[in-house]
């Protein structure tokens, strides 16, 4: 159905409404105390969106809903593509084979383990389990956002996954510096890590990019190689989101065919093309055709677009839909957290020592 002028006006009004919320979230995230906690505008945006959804949602003109949906779907996909400007292939090459293997093993094992334990042990439905696992496996809220279109999941499921990522990612941000300064730095034998090894461990296991940046900064006198290793390994995990989503799309199509029996031939394969475009953008960025200051501006705009998408998803999250979930998401996210902290330490040590 073609958009009438009235429909276009309503859609634009809805997009502007979301943008105003996102601007507020960006401002709040930049305030000293909030910034010190490492909370990104994305997290602030979804909290504001959820608050609105459960208080003033019925006061919004119906015509605006299409703009809110547009922000949570179309703008989201575009923002994930532009996210590729944060990465270059040279950075991934610089981290070495050990950092790459830690990223690959932790991403795949966390995604599989989180999805399995959520559905089989804690009896969550599949979408919420996969979204929660994706957030822990790759890059927190941004990974949850990127996975949602592949699953075609409802907004409240995305909100559940994001809230778990925020909870345990924040705990990680405070826990890791304490572990390093009290145990790892002064230990001998297997429990000891060099600054570079600890950086790989941090980048390979902590949820959000901002949290990864915050950990080395919270270690008194930490050398630059710790922060460099942490960020590069983390960005290696980020770029792996593209192949992960493509494989996930293939798996979902196969699973639907398997479950569909005689109608399996009608199952449509969903390829997340925005993930392919994300890799192409990262490849383009690797040639450094665009000046660094311009890339910085692009990344700032992209963060705002991601904040809009997260805010829009929050606006579709009504608490009444959470009934029946219980503590299963918490138990699932906690299990992944333990795996990331303990299993990630062991895997990092073994791979670094072998290579």
From residue 311, alpha-carbon distances to 16, 38, 181, 343 in Å are 12, 18, 37, 33
pLDDT in tens, 282-293: 899 999 999 999
- How far is Cα 216 from Cα 223, in angstroms, rounded to an integer? 8
- How far is Cα 124 from Cα 142, in angstroms, rounded to an integer? 22
pLDDT band at 88 (very low <50, low <70, confident <90, very high): confident
pLDDT in tens, 307-353: 998 888 888 777 776 666 778 898 999 999 999 999 999 999 999 98
The predicted structure's pLDDT at residue 157: 86
pLDDT band at 125 (very low <50, low <70, confident <90, very high): confident
Average pLDDT over residues 247-272: 69
Let me know: does 314 contact 45? Beta carbons within 8 Å: yes
- How far is Cα 309 from Cα 15, in angstroms, rounded to an integer? 10
Q: Copy the structure tokens of residue 103.
A: 């990223």
Closest by alpha carbon to 321, among 71, 154, 85?
Answer: 154
Side-chain-side CA neighbours of residue 65 (13 Å): 9
Average pLDDT over residues 10-17: 93
- How far is Cα 243 from Cα 103, in angstroms, rounded to an integer? 13
Give the contacts of 320 (CB within 8 A, at least 6 positions apart): none
pLDDT in tens, 94-113: 778 998 999 999 999 999 99
Give yes or no for residue 263 having a pLDDT over 60.
Answer: no
- How far is Cα 143 from Cα 164, in angstroms, rounded to an integer? 13
pTM over 0.95: no
């Amino acid at each position: 159905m073609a958009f009438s002028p009235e429909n276009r006006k309503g859609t634009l009004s809805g997009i502007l409404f979301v943008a105003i919320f996102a601007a507020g979230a960006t401002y709040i995230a930049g305030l000293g105390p909030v910034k010190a906690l490492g909370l990104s505008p994305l997290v602030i945006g979804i909290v504001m969106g959820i608050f609105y959804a459960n208080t003033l949602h019925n006061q919004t003109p119906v015509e605006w809903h299409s703009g809110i949906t547009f922000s949570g779907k179309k703008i989201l996909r575009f923002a994930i593509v532009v996210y590729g400007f944060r990465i270059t292939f040279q950075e991934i090459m610089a981290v070495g084979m050990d950092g790459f293997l830690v990223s690959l093993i932790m991403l795949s094992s966390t995604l599989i383990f989180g999805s399995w334990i959520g559905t089989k042990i804690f009896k969550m439905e599949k979408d919420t389990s996969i979204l929660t696992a994706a957030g822990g496996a790759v890059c927190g809220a941004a990974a949850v956002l990127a996975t949602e279109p592949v699953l075609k999941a409802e907004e409240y499921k995305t909100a559940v996954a994001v809230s778990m990522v925020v909870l345990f990612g924040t705990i990680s941000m405070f826990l890791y510096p304490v572990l390093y300064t009290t145990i790892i730095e002064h230990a001998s034998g297997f429990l000891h890590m060099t600054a570079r090894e600890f950086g790989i461990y941090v980048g390979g296991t902590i949820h959000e990019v901002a949290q990864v940046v915050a950990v080395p900064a919270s270690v008194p006198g930490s050398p630059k190689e710790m922060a460099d290793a942490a960020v590069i390994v983390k960005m290696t995990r980020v770029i792996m989101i593209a192949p992960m989503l493509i494989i996930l799309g293939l798996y979902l199509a196969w699973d639907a065919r398997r479950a569909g029996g005689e109608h399996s031939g009608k199952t449509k394969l969903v390829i997340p093309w925005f993930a392919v475009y994300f890799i192409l953008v990262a490849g383009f960025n690797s040639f450094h055709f665009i000046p660094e200051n311009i890339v910085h501006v692009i990344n700032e705009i992209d963060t705002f677009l991601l904040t809009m998408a997260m805010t829009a998803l929050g606006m579709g999250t009504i608490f009444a839909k959470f009934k029946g979930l219980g503590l299963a998401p918490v138990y699932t996210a906690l299990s992944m957290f333990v795996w990331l902290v303990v299993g990630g330490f062991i895997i990092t040590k073994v791979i670094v020592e072998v290579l």
